[in-house]
Structure 1
């Protein structure tokens, strides 16, 4: 009886080993498409399962994996998409993703990551989309993104980043979308963006930048969408957007406590379609701001002085189907009037004609 029991136990042990091997669906996950999709979402696993070489997508969301160890995914040579959201991850070890040379999508959002060891992203030469938002990352090791030559979107919003240092984005030369909203940035080193001059979308909103980062921004060439909302900046300087002005279509600068634009702030900006500057302390707009391409503008809750300097804005309102909310704060006789309806601008066109005529003589 004893020998039979021992043989039985050995048999069941071998079955269990086979069941957890790379040729079958790992327990307690479920799989689809001949093991191409392995779904281990919220199944209570505490270590990385072994999966088939056929596996293209591994979903491990909502488990408990506090540390991603070195080489933990090394056997998954064919993996293209890896989902690790809500896994209580605190640390990513060096070479954590070693071997994943075909990986394109890596989702690490909504964890507790505060440590990313140097070399963490080694081997991820095909990675295109990297999501690290909603974590606790305080800084980024120099060259951490160097292996990511094909990175297109980098999501780093809602972390604890305090500064961007030189070499942070070294190697990520094809990066096009960079999301840094909701961090604690107080400064951006002048050369921090040197390696990512082809950014098309840059979100810096909800940070602590008290002055416009002129030098690093001047390295950018093709920004189409820029968000600076909810940074405590008071002044936007001359030529702020000039290096990418012929590409910039969307600009968000609401809720900043912004007091003024320097008169040449919009020099070189020729493609602007959408401008959001509500909830500031602005009284005027600079002469460099052209409304020729503008399709949408938000202006409410500012201290607008309704005089001829705002006449180009009023003319744009008269020609637009939109009716943006914006009221005069001064002069006193126009206070509370909607700019689009105010009589403050009735003489501006005539004055403009007289000024031009005087200039010709």
Structure 2
């Protein structure tokens, strides 16, 4: 923000004293020094003050009610910084002086950016358009800004990545929009880009090689998007595992349904893209032209990820996963990874998430009870039909158990009833015999 700069804060501190001594100055504004800084904020202005000195280099008319300032500032040939934030501007102001280096327009009502509006601003290094209503930016609207370094378009209504951005950009903020895809040609030209914020958008995947042509990129924010954790996301998955940049890696899957709300980096390659381990089928057309098929590309990418993610020991049943520690990986996350990493690839079959979690927990229980690792591996390597049949043999069905218990209860009741009847007959017989015995004795 303009008022966060040290020199501005200093002038604001001494402003009450200096404003009494300096003139001319617009009524209600603060002018610490001639030709330096003019602050006309929160005054309810509907038009620019007329008495602003033409030598002003920093002007702020933020938090007013300005609706149109077209061609009103052209005569300020030395103006370097201008703040028009928190006003009622419905379009990008026209006729601004070419000397501008910083332009703040956040929280207005701008809906589109045209090429002609910025054509003269060749010295602009910072442009802030945060929290407007921008839906459209003409393809060449920003290309003429050869010195632009910081561009903020946060909190607008963009549905696509801006085209033809100037290569001079170092910071680009596109968060809080509706962008559903990245334009690779436009992004690859940003060779000086250092910080990219595109969180809180509608991205589902990232095209291959998206970040490979950005040599100075050091920070990326991709959180809160609509990530589809399928085969097309393997490039982003591998790029995140590389850990070369400072960025948030807690990307949450939204699709497919069985992986929803799961962290992308807690998944294995097989759970993201099961077809990478399916039997290879040659595409006749691709084979004739010696071009790799889509399946070949997925296999190659998956192999690179697995090679960088795991280190296999002499015992093939034991693997050590890199990039994790006890602080970043808990017990439940470990179980969710084991459900695919411990399966023998040639016999892998896709199953639903609840069944995989149940099998993984049964496998863990068996290992605790003394089952050998080799036996567990062979159990998980069987096909789905054998697995289901073995499960029925080893684990009784709950309905069968209930039926057996019911039958046992009925049999027990019948036995008890028979015993009671037998006891009753014995007692009756004894009562009949007892009087006879007494009579004979008399």
What displacement does 1:162 show? Answer: 0.7
CA distance 1:255–1:37, shift in 2 (3 Å): farther
Aligned partners of 1:197 and 1:219 also within 8 Å: yes
Match in the other structure for 2:267: 305
Q: Which residue of 1 aligns with 2:227?
A: 258
Which of the numbers 112, 119, 129 marks the counterpart of 2:88? 112
What does the per-residue CA deviation read over 1:156-186, in whole Å, with 9 as the maximum and x for residues that have no partner? 1111111221221243211111111110001
1:148–1:305 CA distance, 2 compared to 1 (3 A): same
Who is 2:322 aligned against? 315
Partner deviation per Cα, 1:138-167 (whole Å, 9 max, x = no partner): 012313222222211111111111122122
- Alpha-carbon deviation of 1:323? 3.8
Residues 262, 306 of structure 1: CA spacing in aligned structure 2 closer, same or farther, 3 A cutoff? closer
Q: 1:32 to 1:213 in 2, by over 3 A?
A: same
**Using the alignment, how far apart are the partners of 2:177 and 2:170 within structure 1?**
20
Give the aligned CA root-mean-square deviation in angstroms: 3.9
Matches within 5 A, 1:1-361: 32=18, 34-35=21-22, 43=28, 54-68=34-48, 72=50, 76-93=53-70, 95-119=71-95, 121=96, 123-125=97-99, 127-188=100-161, 190-191=163-164, 193=165, 196-244=166-214, 246-260=215-229, 262-265=233-236, 271-281=244-254, 301-302=262-263, 304-306=266-268, 312=309, 315-318=322-325, 323=328, 327=333, 329=336, 331=339, 332-333=356-357
Question: Which shows bigger deviation, 211-220 or 325-334?
Answer: 325-334
Q: TM-score, normalised by structure 2?
A: 0.53
Which of the pair has the greater relative contact order for Cα pairs under 8 Å at 6+ separation? 1
Q: Deviations over 1:110-143 (max 9, x none)?
A: 1221133532x1x241x22211111110012313
Higher strand share: 1
C-alpha contact (below 8 Å) 1:251/1:274 kept by paired residues? yes
> How many residues end up aligned between the 2 structures?
275
Contact 2:30 2:39 in 1 (8 A): no
Q: Which whole-Å CA distance do the structure 2 matches of 1:50 and 1:228 have between them?
A: 38
Hey, what does 2:422 align to over in structure 1? Answer: none
The two structures have a TM-score, normalised by structure 1, of 0.64
- Helix, strand or coil: the match of 2:309? helix
Shift in alpha-carbon separation, 1:262–1:229, aligned structure 2, 3 A? same
Residues 62-108 of structure 1: CA deviation (Å, up to 9, x unaligned): 12233459xx57x6222121111110222222x22122222222111
8 A Cα contact 1:143 1:167, kept in partner: no
